[in-house]
Amino acid sequence: MLVRFKRPKTLSQLLGVFCFVLITLSGPTSAKAVSFIRDTEIENTIRLFSSPIFEAAGLNIADIQIHIISDPALNAFVAAGQRLFINTGLLMRAEHAGQVIGVIAHETGHIAGGHLVRLHERLRGSTARAVLTTLFQGVAASYTRSMEQSADQAAVSFLDEAGYSGKGLAEFLRTLSKEEALSTGDQDIYLRSHPLTRDRIKFMNDHVAKSKLSDKPMPVDVQQAHDRMRAKLKGFVNKPARTLREYKADDPSFSARYARAIAFKKLHRIDESLALIDGLLAEAPNDPFLYELKGDVLQDANRVAESIPPYEKALEILPWAALIRISLAQSQLEAKDPALGDAALENLLDAVRYEPDIPLLWRLLATAYARSGDQANVMLALAEEAMLAGKKSEAQQRAARALEMLPEGSASWRRAQDIQNAARNK
């Protein structure tokens, strides 16, 4: 499954890459395109890391919004309240979970300290896409040295409260210090928005020397989740040859086999990929993300009917996983079995309640409505898709057609009106 939706200047592509959904942003003020990666397992892992930190900070865990940016630069930041943005570069370069958790604790310190509150208030309620667009237009989230020191002090308090060692954050700061001597253009962007000082490093080193938690090992499940996340990201982001060099065939670890299965999938070596996944499933028969990956491999190989049972099994274990439900619905529609049409529509309607900002979802909904002969909702779904893709003229036309067919005053009719009104605005 590889679907592209183009939009001039701002939202240029939506890529459905099996368990990944990438939303690519580019603009006249951005040096390069920036993409979001949507993946249930990776987002869950970041939530696992951040929840104890947010709880220690007295913040509402349910309000955490995780955004993974596909970018090799070492960076993370918070914006618009409790939105946490983390680059794949940071996640892939972090050698253990403690380093990622340390960065999350530091960023939580900025939230708790109300740093850049005016910027956060300005962006509050915006979509992640709008937040990044604003930042690209020059409203940079840069912190002062005093803010950085304050965030570090808060971070060690949160880490202690959550029962985590501060070594990870100390290691991260030492990694940054090695890059300070580089020219500005070669430095990771984190250094440009989070100024580093010797006092910060000394503070963290002193804390590690004194804290009773410094030598406390990371919980096994947390470190395993990190290793899997890192392997998954490398499998999807890096070229297969590089993944297979790093995760060698004689490495029997779970994460190595996971990464190789993804690399073989990208190489279309389907049997080898499936053999690795089935071996992992024999060891972890209740792992929803292995079933999801198996469904992705089969869907990629155009064996859509075979991909349906693994997706269904994944959803038995994680019924709330909207991204997996979208993949299942796509296979149900591509199977062209009339008996699956109602199930596909039901799955998409369930998913859209949680993920209304994915253009692919609305395109699939339009297809499902067309199969059932509901032309009014076909037009409404296509209007939603066009709005998300930035095609305002098309959105107006689709919404107008929907208004002609929908019952006046109904919820769908009012939504079509909203789309028309929004499309008229710049």
User: Any idea which fold 39-220 has?
Assistant: Zincin-like (3.30.2010)
pTM value is 0.85
Considering 20-29, 118-127, 199-208, the range whose residues carry the highest mean pLDDT is: 199-208
| 402 pLDDT higher than 50 | yes
* pLDDT value at residue 232: 98
| 35 pLDDT higher than 60 | yes
* pLDDT value at residue 143: 75
| 134 pLDDT higher than 90 | no
| 423 pLDDT higher than 60 | yes
Considering 24-38, 195-209, 252-266, the range whose residues carry the highest mean pLDDT is: 252-266
What is the mean predicted confidence (pLDDT) over 12-41?
52
* pLDDT value at residue 336: 82
Q: How confident is the model at residue 131 (pLDDT cuts 50, 70, 90)?
A: low
Listed by start position, the domains of the chain span 39-220
| 39 pLDDT higher than 80 | yes
Share of the chain above pLDDT 90, in %: 67
Give the tokens for residue 130. Answer: 């709008």
Residue-wise pLDDT tens digits, 288-341? 999 999 999 999 999 999 999 999 999 999 999 999 999 999 999 999 898 999
Share of the chain above pLDDT 70, in %: 81
| 189 pLDDT higher than 60 | yes
